[in-house]
């Protein structure tokens, strides 16, 4: 089969430029948030008492952590792991689902802290952006399952390839790790995916030359198999005008002495 280099329908330099701009914008925003986390961590390292802005489970004053906890980190390793996840998942979500991601972020932010506040052990302090990263991963993954267009499926597969282990870290697995905020962020990501799955229009489906060839072959086969109309069927004879034709079948009387 001949496959000439015919540009697919919907693909144009303007669309390619728009896609690159969207990816670059999502990366820049994710990088800006990471730089904000670095600045807050520098303030933490100066001796600032950050505990008032962490999540303290089941304490009224611990509710302030719903706003401040994702900005705080306990170590440089903690910050580094969340920074890389935010760059990858933030760029992925923001480039494929820009509107849904903007609308989902407040839900992911509050949901991660609310999970820690409701499920955490009294007397503990929960901090870090890992709940938000879990929310982004579940947002992208579930949107891929719901929308099932090519960009959505590709984004979901990439997110699962890099951070599929987040499906496990929403459960208790390691002391000192806030699985409660992971679970809260993941639940918020699933809810946000259900709420905002139609926020971004689906990309036009690309069409390739071989698809047109297959359709032409199917139509040609259908034309060959389609029976002709009654008017197109030739007749063997035409009755003369004003004359009726009758078919007479002679029947012989049966002889009782000769059954055959």
Residue 57 confidence (pLDDT): 95
Q: Where are the alpha helices (DSSP H) in the chain?
A: 13-45, 65-68, 76-96, 98-119, 130-147, 150-163, 179-195, 209-225
- How many Å apart are CA 19 and CA 13, to the nearest integer? 10
Q: What pLDDT is recorded for position 85?
A: 96
Q: Are 128 and 73 in contact (CB under 8 A)?
A: yes
Q: How far is CA 231 from CA 40, 149, 241, in A?
A: 85, 47, 19
Could you report how far apart the first and last alpha carbons of the chain are, in Å? 67
Structurally, at CATH architecture level, domain 13-195 sits in: Up-down Bundle (1.20)
At 2, list the tokens.
Answer: 């001949």
The predicted pLDDT at position 176 comes to 84
Instruction: Write out the chain's pLDDT in tens, 260 residues.
Output: 444 444 444 456 677 788 889 999 999 999 999 999 999 999 998 888 888 999 999 999 999 999 999 999 999 999 999 999 999 999 999 999 999 999 999 999 999 999 999 999 998 999 999 999 999 999 999 999 999 888 899 999 999 999 999 999 999 888 888 999 999 999 999 999 999 999 998 876 666 665 566 666 666 555 555 566 666 666 655 555 655 555 555 566 666 666 65
What DSSP assignment string belongs to 131-162? Answer: HHHHHHHHHHHHHHHHH-SHHHHHHHHHHHHH
pLDDT at 205: 65
Give the pLDDT confidence score for residue 3 in this predicted structure.
Answer: 40
């Amino acid at each position: 089969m001949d496959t000439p280099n015919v540009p697919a329908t919907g693909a144009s330099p303007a669309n390619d430029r728009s896609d690159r701009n969207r990816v670059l914008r999502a990366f820049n925003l994710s990088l800006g948030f990471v730089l904000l986390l670095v600045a807050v961590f520098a303030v933490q390292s100066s001796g600032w008492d950050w505990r008032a802005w962490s999540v303290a489970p089941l304490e009224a004053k611990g509710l302030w952590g719903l706003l401040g906890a994702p900005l705080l980190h306990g170590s440089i390793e903690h910050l580094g792991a969340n920074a890389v996840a935010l760059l990858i998942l933030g760029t992925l979500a923001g480039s494929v689902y820009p509107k849904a991601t903007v609308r989902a972020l407040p839900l992911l932010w509050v949901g991660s802290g609310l999970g820690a506040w409701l499920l955490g052990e009294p007397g503990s302090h929960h901090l870090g952006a890992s709940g938000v990263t879990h929310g982004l991963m579940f947002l992208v993954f579930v949107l891929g399952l719901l929308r099932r267009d090519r960009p959505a499926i590709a984004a979901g597969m990439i997110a699962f390839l890099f951070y599929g282990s987040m499906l496990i870290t929403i459960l208790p697995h390691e002391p000192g790790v806030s699985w409660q905020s992971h679970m809260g962020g993941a639940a918020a990501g699933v809810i946000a995916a259900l709420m905002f799955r139609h926020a971004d229009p689906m990309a036009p489906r690309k069409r390739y030359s071989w698809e047109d060839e297959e359709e032409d072959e199917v139509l040609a086969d259908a034309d060959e198999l389609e029976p002709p109309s009654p008017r197109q069927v030739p007749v063997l004879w035409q009755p003369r005008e004003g004359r009726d034709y009758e078919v007479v079948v002679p029947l012989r009387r049966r002889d009782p002495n000769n059954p055959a």
